[in-house]
A = this chain, B = another copy of it.
């Protein structure tokens, strides 16, 4: 049944991203065939190629979608805090909690750099999450010539912390330990 209405088409595109996110998270990028996504979405691969151009294109859309969700949570938490020091902490801890779902972590932190390339991945991350970290660090008094380097390294620390937590899921206290360790690093930076 070709040519649905414009809203139906948008809904199809949205649904495909959602389904793809689930499958990519469960099996990893390489093990997911586009036919799996299409079939689960009630369409054929033709529809996927129509909307996203390629398998990588679909994955890019999934990545952007998830990053946007994480960034929204982060921004909300940081906005609720006041004072530069507290905003940094609130935002960082919120990021860690937001990104710590098995679904998100596998796609955003494991597959994305390899699939879309590290440079593009970092650019996307910089636009959605890392900007806020950078800004918070600047406000907290980090020396300008160390700002970029520290943003990158703290970002890496938090990403690894997220993977570490997910890997220990079920182990009680793991999440708290990660948050406390993160506080050690953050306090170091803000002096």
| Interface of A, helix, strand, loop or mixed by DSSP | helix
Report if A153-B146 is in contact (Cβ < 8 Å); known contacts: A188-B184, A188-B189.
no
Min Cβ gap A146→B in Å is: 5
Task: Write out the residue numbers on chain B whose beta carbons fall within 8 Å of the beta carbon of A118.
Answer: 106, 110, 163, 167
Report if A150-B184 is in contact (Cβ < 8 Å); known contacts: A145-B177, A156-B161.
yes
Q: Give Cα A35–Cα B133 distance, bound, in whole angstroms.
A: 44
Tell me the number of copies of this protein: 2
Check B188–A122 contact: CB distance below 8 A.
Answer: no
Task: Write out the residue numbers on chain B whose beta carbons fall within 8 Å of the beta carbon of A159.
Answer: 156, 160
Q: Give Cα A28–Cα B113 distance, bound, in whole angstroms.
A: 11
| Highest count of chain B CB atoms <10 Å: which of A106, A145, A148, A184 | A184
Check B149–A156 contact: CB distance below 8 A.
Answer: no
Q: Give Cα A30–Cα B119 distance, bound, in whole angstroms.
A: 17
Task: Write out the residue numbers on chain B whose beta carbons fall within 8 Å of the beta carbon of A154.
Answer: 157
Check if A187 is an interface residue, CB within 8 A of chain B.
Answer: yes
Min Cβ gap A120→B in Å is: 11
Check B110–A146 contact: CB distance below 8 A.
Answer: no
Q: Give Cα A29–Cα B29 distance, bound, in whole angstroms.
A: 13
Q: Which residue of chain B has the shortest Cβ distance to A156 in the bound complex? A: B160
1/0 per residue, CB under 8 A from B, across A168-191: the answer is: 000000100110111011011100
Report if A114-B110 is in contact (Cβ < 8 Å); known contacts: A157-B153, A181-B150, A188-B187.
yes
Extra inter-chain contacts (18) besides given A106-B118, A153-B160, CB under 8 Å: A28-B114, A29-B114, A110-B118, A113-B114, A114-B115, A119-B167, A122-B163, A149-B180, A150-B184, A152-B161, A152-B163, A152-B164, A153-B161, A153-B182, A156-B158, A184-B189, A187-B188, A188-B189
